[in-house]
Amino acid sequence: MNLSVVGTGYVGLVSGACFAELGNQVTCVDIDEEKIEGLRNGVMPIYEPDLEEIVERNYESGNLEFTTSLAEGVNNSDVIFIAVGTPSQEDGGADLSAVKAVAKVIAETMDEYKIIVDKSTVPVGTGDWVEEFIADNKVSDCDFDVVSCPEFLREGSAVSDTMHPDRVVIGTNDSKPAKILDELHQDFEAPILHTDRYSAEIIKYAANAFLATKISFINEIANICEAAGGNVEEVAAGIGSDHRISDKFLRAGVGFGGACFPKDTKAIVKTAAEHGYDFKVVNSVVEVNEQQKETMVNKLKTLLPNLTGKTISVLGLAFKPNTDDMREAPSRTVIKQLLEAGAEVKAHDPIAMDEAKEVFGDKIEYCETTEETITDTEAVLLVTEWDKFQDLDLEEVKDLLNKPIFIDGRNCYELEEMEEAGFIYHSVGRPTISADDLAATREVAAVTG
């Protein structure tokens, strides 16, 4: 099938490459000339496991093309996927300017039947607007259909999620485009859910809002555990074993970030308000998440009340492992707090260093290795749970630090091993290991030894 995918971000590039991998002829379109030229030369604009190999293989075979001409993409395709960004506006609503720009060119360019698929995450009713706009502005007297087909990929596993989806949602009441899109998606061997367009548009927001709610919920439980006693991991295991709840998204931490959860929770709250409804639950989810991002530095300040002139090491900058995305990343809040408190910051991330430089400029020191980052610092803050940060040589880390202070925002280490290694250790929703604890442990060891 001949497809065009407009937008070469996470959704567009991954979707286009995976459709090409399945034997379709795909044209990826983006207005960024530098990005398109880079893709033609094998330069990936994003980091995503396995993506570079798929792009290279299909570009060389001719299944995948890149262009800055949307008109070319429209003319070369039967199905046009709109996969442009819909970032948050100041009021929390989705910015649809890129979607509107694409719709305008489609209206001016198409000269035969096309299926136009909203792959971007858009508020309910956007499909109506796209349909009406194209109908009112099309140059040629040709038919078209607008369908909602939301994506559910996760950054860091986007290729796998695209090739092996839990489900495919096709939102349309028209049988013609539904049949064609069924055929296009059959190679994914996933259940296909047919809905009306409004429902499909709401499904993506509802899914992300629910998952974000689970994260903020378990983070609030973690805060209760810290205040009243208890271990959030044991609580999560207890409630997660209930099949009605499941253990997914019940790992306490320093909060969620990225391109989807923060944006989509705000957008569904805004959509609800526009329809006269106060979405209290998700409003609280957003508030809790912002507060959670501040907990790491707050814990550090209980140990080092005056951070002025002190050097703190930060491990992990991307919002999650296996991506270089720093949008709404907890590290941004953590580092901002440290700098405002007068601290100096040394930071390292396996992938997101270039992105971090765009965010922080020369305000922090960027280190090439974990060891360099930790050396001669007063404390280490583990913000992103990259594999390499979950398997540190703890004795070496302690020797490199000026003080054995370790703030773990992702609960990567067991309490017993951190106590044995001699750290003052704070995690999320679990008992702390204090200097008094370490002294008592040493005293017992001396007596029994």
HEC states along the chain?
Answer: CEEEEECCCHHHHHHHHHHHHCCCEEEEECCCHHHHHHHHCCCCCCCCCCHHHHHHHHHHHCCEEEECCHHHHHHCCCEEEECCCCCECCCCCECCHHHHHHHHHHHHHCCCCEEEEECCCCCCCHHHHHHHHHHHHCCCCCCEEEEECCCCCCCCCHHHHHHCCCCEEEECCCHHHHHHHHHHHHHHCCCEEEECHHHHHHHHHHHHHHHHHHHHHHHHHHHHHHHHCCCHHHHHHHHHCCCCCCCCCCCCCCCCCCCCHHHHHHHHHHHHHHCCCCCHHHHHHHHHHHHHCCHHHHHHHHHCCCCCCCEEEEECCCCCCCCCCCCCCHHHHHHHHHHHCCCEEEEECCCCHHHHHHHHCCCCEECCCHHHHHCCCCEEEECCCCHHHCCCCHHHHHHHCCCCEEEECCCCCCHHHHHHHCCEEECCCCCCECHHHHHHHHHHHHHHC
- The residue from 28, 149, 225, 260 that is catalytic is 260
**CA dihedral over 64, 67, 70, 73, signed as positive or negative:** negative
The verdict on whether 142 is a catalytic residue reads no
> CB of 145 within 8 A of CB of 176?
yes
Which token pair is 58?
């299909």
Give the residue among 269, 152, 154, 248 at the shortest CA–CA distance from 200. 152
- Quick one: how far is CA 74 from the chain centroid? 29
CA–CA gap between residue 165 and residue 187 (Å, rounded): 11
Q: Which residues are catalytic?
A: 260
